[in-house]
C-alpha cells in the first residue's frame, strides 16, 4: 500500500521510501524538536476543523473503521475530517473534504504561512486517489496560517487561516502521477533496497532522517564545506569526482572566501586579515556590552496584539566590560510566569545598557529585529531604541562571515558554535542545552506546560548557563582576536 506520506517520501528519495516500508526500525525516532512540530501541526488541524460547521470527525477511528465510515458518511453531504480512501493499493486521508452540490472540495491544512511546492504534490496525490475512488473534485485549497492575523482575545479560526485556491496548479503536479505511484509500489514490493547517491534531494524539501547514514562516506574537508556555495554546484563537483576542497581545479569559479578555503585545504594554517581585524578592534568603544537574546516564536500567538510566529524574547545575557581588560560584570534576565515577558524584557534592557559604549552581538539582524518589534509593540521604548541603542550595535559576526578570520576547523561555517572551539577552550558540547532551538523548546515546555518544580528549576538553570555562555563566547573571541600573532 502506498499512502500519501509514503508518496511524498518517494518523491524525495526511493531509498527513504523503501526503508520506511520494509525496515522502518532503521529510521531514527523524531527528536523532541521534530515531535514538537508534529504536535503543533495536530493543534493547528484541530483549530482548522472549527472553520467548518457541522463536520464529522473520523480521525480517531482505526484504519478499516475509517475507510468503512467514510463510505457511510459521504451521503450526509457535510464536511468530513480525515476521511480515508483505499483504492488500487493507494491510500489517502483528507484533512477536510467539503461538499459543494454533488462535488467535493479538498482542503489541505498546513501550519506554514504560505503554499510550498511539496504541498501541491500532496494535494495532487489526494485528488488522484479520491477521483479513482469515484469522488468528483471541484476545487483544491491549501489552508494555511494568515501571517497578518493579530490576536485579540480568543483565537478566531476563520481569521487565523487563509484558504488559497490551488486548483489551477494541480494539473502540473498530477502529470505522470500514475507512473510515479506504480513505480513506488514496485519499490515497496522489492526485496532489494534501492541504491541512491546523495544529492540535493537529501535536504529537499526536508532534511532526510537517514542523512547521517548516507553521508558517512563524505570525507573531511570536502566540497560540501564550501561557504555559501549553492548546494547544486557542490554536487556537480562531487558527482564529477571532485570531492575534496584541495582537488578543485583553477578553472572552477570560486568567490574570494571559497578560494581561501581551497588554499587552506592545500597549505594548512589559518587565514587572518590583520588590517580588518585591527580596524574592528580599535573601533570598539568601551564600556562594551556583549549581548545575546533567546526567543520563542509560537505558531499560535500567545498574547493579544501578536501575530503567528512572531518572536517573544524571554531571556537575555549581558556581559559588561567597562574598559579593555577590566573585570566582567554579568547581568541576566529570564522571564518568570506566563504573562507577556516583553515589557519587562525591554525595561530591563533599558536599565542595563547604559547610554554610551558599543553593544556587541553575533548576527545583529536578530537582536535588532527583536528590539524593533518590542518598541513597535510598546512605543514607550521607541525613542530609547532608535536614538540610543541602534547607533551603538556592532556585529562580531562580521569578522567571520567576511573571512577576516577563518580556520578550516570551522568547516565552512561562521556560526559561533563553530567559531568558539577554534578561538577558545569553551564549548557547548557538555551542556544540557546546546543550541537556541532547544533552549526555546525547553523554556516553552517548563513555562506553559504541566511540569513539577524540580524540572522547571533544572531547565531554568540550564537556560541561564546556555545564554550566559553565548555572551562569554563573544568576550573570549574578542580577547583572542586581540592576541593573534600575524
Q: How confident is the model at residue 278 (pLDDT cuts 50, 70, 90)?
A: very high
Q: Is residue 318 a contact partner of residue 289, using CB atoms and an 8 Å limit?
A: yes
Cis, peptide link before residue 483, omega less than 30° from 0: no
Mean pLDDT (whole number) for 427-439: 94
Per-residue pLDDT at 117: 96
Q: How confident is the model at residue 485 (pLDDT cuts 50, 70, 90)?
A: confident
Mean pLDDT (whole number) for 392-401: 98
Per-residue pLDDT at 433: 97
Mean pLDDT of the chain: 96
Q: Is residue 84 a contact partner of residue 118, using CB atoms and an 8 Å limit?
A: no
Q: Is residue 135 a contact partner of residue 104, using CB atoms and an 8 Å limit?
A: yes
Angle between helices 453-481 and 416-423 (to 10 degrees): 60
d(CA 94, CA 80): 8
Mean pLDDT (whole number) for 314-333: 96
Q: Is residue 285 a contact partner of residue 358, using CB atoms and an 8 Å limit?
A: yes
Mean pLDDT (whole number) for 237-242: 96
DSSP 77: -
For the chain, give the percent of residues with pLDDT over 90. 98
Q: How far is CA 218 from CA 199, 214, 225, 244, 259, in A?
A: 12, 9, 11, 9, 21
Per-residue pLDDT at 272: 97
Give the list of residues 6+ apart from residue 379 with CB closer than 8 angstroms, or none.
none
For the chain, give the percent of residues with pLDDT over 70. 100
Q: Is residue 9 a contact partner of residue 210, using CB atoms and an 8 Å limit?
A: no
- Is residue 166's pLDDT more than 90? yes
d(CA 7, CA 121): 9
The total number of residues shown for the chain amounts to 486
d(CA 220, CA 262): 13
Beta-carbon count within 10 A of 141 CB: 21
Q: Is residue 407 a contact partner of residue 422, using CB atoms and an 8 Å limit?
A: yes
Per-residue pLDDT at 486: 78
Cβ-in-10-Å burial (0-12, 13-18, 19+) of 93 comes to buried
Reported as a single tens digit per residue, the pLDDT across 134-145 is 999 999 999 999
Q: Give CA 201 to chain center in angstroms.
A: 17
Give the list of residues 6+ apart from residue 277 with CB closer than 8 angstroms, or none.
399, 404, 405, 481, 484
Element housing 72 (H / E): helix 63-73
Mean pLDDT (whole number) for 266-287: 96
Q: Is residue 149 a contact partner of residue 155, using CB atoms and an 8 Å limit?
A: no
d(CA 392, CA 328): 19
Helical H segments across 162-255, by residue range: 170-174, 177-189, 211-214, 231-239
Reported as a single tens digit per residue, the pLDDT across 446-484 is 999 999 999 999 999 999 999 999 999 999 999 999 999
Amino acid at each position: 500500500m502506498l499512502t500519501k506520506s509514503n508518496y511524498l517520501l518517494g518523491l524525495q528519495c526511493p531509498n527513504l521510501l523503501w526503508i520506511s516500508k520494509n525496515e522502518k526500525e532503521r529510521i531514527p525516532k523524531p527528536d523532541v524538536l521534530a515531535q514538537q512540530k508534529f504536535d503543533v501541526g495536530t493543534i493547528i488541524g484541530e483549530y482548522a476543523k472549527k472553520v467548518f460547521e457541522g463536520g464529522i470527525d473520523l480521525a480517531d477511528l482505526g484504519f478499516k473503521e475509517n475507510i468503512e465510515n467514510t463510505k457511510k458518511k459521504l451521503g450526509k453531504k457535510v464536511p468530513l475530517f480525515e476521511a480515508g480512501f483505499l483504492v488500487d493499493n493507494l491510500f489517502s486521508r483528507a484533512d477536510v473534504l467539503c461538499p459543494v452540490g454533488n462535488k467535493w472540495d479538498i482542503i489541505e491544512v498546513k501550519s506554514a504561512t504560505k503554499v510550498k511546492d511539496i504541498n501541491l504534490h500532496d494535494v495532487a496525490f489526494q485528488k488522484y486517489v479520491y477521483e479513482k475512488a469515484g469522488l468528483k473534485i471541484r476545487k483544491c485549497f491549501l489552508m494555511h496560517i494568515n501571517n497578518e492575523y493579530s490576536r485579540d482575545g480568543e483565537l478566531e479560526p476563520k481569521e487565523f487561516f487563509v484558504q488559497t485556491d490551488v486548483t489551477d496548479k494541480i494539473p502540473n503536479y498530477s502529470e505522470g502521477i500514475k507512473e510515479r505511484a506504480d513505480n513506488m509500489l514496485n519499490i515497496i514490493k522489492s526485496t532489494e533496497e534501492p541504491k541512491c547517491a546523495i544529492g540535493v534531494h537529501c535536504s529537499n524539501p526536508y532534511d532526510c532522517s537517514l542523512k547521517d547514514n548516507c553521508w558517512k562516506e563524505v570525507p573531511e574537508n570536502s566540497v560540501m564545506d564550501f561557504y555559501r556555495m549553492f548546494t547544486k554546484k557542490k554536487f556537480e563537483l562531487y558527482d564529477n569526482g571532485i570531492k575534496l576542497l584541495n582537488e578543485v581545479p583553477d578553472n572552477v569559479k570560486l568567490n574570494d572566501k571559497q578560494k581561501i578555503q581551497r588554499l587552506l585545504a592545500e597549505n594548512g594554517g589559518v587565514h587572518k586579515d590583520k588590517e580588518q581585524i585591527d580596524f574592528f578592534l580599535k573601533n570598539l568603544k568601551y564600556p562594551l556590552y556583549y549581548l545575546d537574546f533567546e526567543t520563542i516564536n509560537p505558531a499560535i500567538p500567545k498574547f493579544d496584539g501578536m501575530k503567528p510566529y512572531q518572536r517573544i524574547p524571554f531571556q537575555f545575557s549581558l556581559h559588561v566590560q567597562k574598559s579593555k581588560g577590566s573585570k566582567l560584570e554579568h547581568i541576566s534576565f529570564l522571564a518568570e510566569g506566563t504573562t507577556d515577558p516583553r515589557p519587562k524584557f525591554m525595561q530591563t534592557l533599558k536599565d542595563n545598557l547604559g547610554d554610551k559604549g558599543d553593544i556587541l552581538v553575533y548576527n545583529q539582524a536578530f537582536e535588532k529585529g527583536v528590539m524593533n518589534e518590542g518598541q513597535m509593540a510598546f512605543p514607550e521604548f521607541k525613542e530609547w531604541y532608535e536614538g540610543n541603542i541602534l547607533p551603538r550595535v556592532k556585529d562580531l559576526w562580521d569578522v567571520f562571515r567576511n573571512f577576516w578570520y577563518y580556520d578550516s576547523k570551522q568547516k565552512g561555517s561562521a556560526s559561533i558554535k563553530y567559531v568558539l572551539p577554534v578561538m577558545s577552550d569553551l564549548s557547548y558540547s557538555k551542556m544540557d542545552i546546546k543550541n537556541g532551538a532547544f533552549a526555546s523548546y525547553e523554556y516553552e515546555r517548563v513555562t506553559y506546560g504541566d511540569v513539577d518544580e524540580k524540572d522547571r528549576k533544572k531547565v531554568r538553570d540550564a537556560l541561564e548557563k546556555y545564554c550566559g555562555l553565548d555572551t562569554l563566547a563573544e568576550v573570549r573571541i574578542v580577547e583572542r582576536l586581540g592576541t593573534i600573532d600575524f
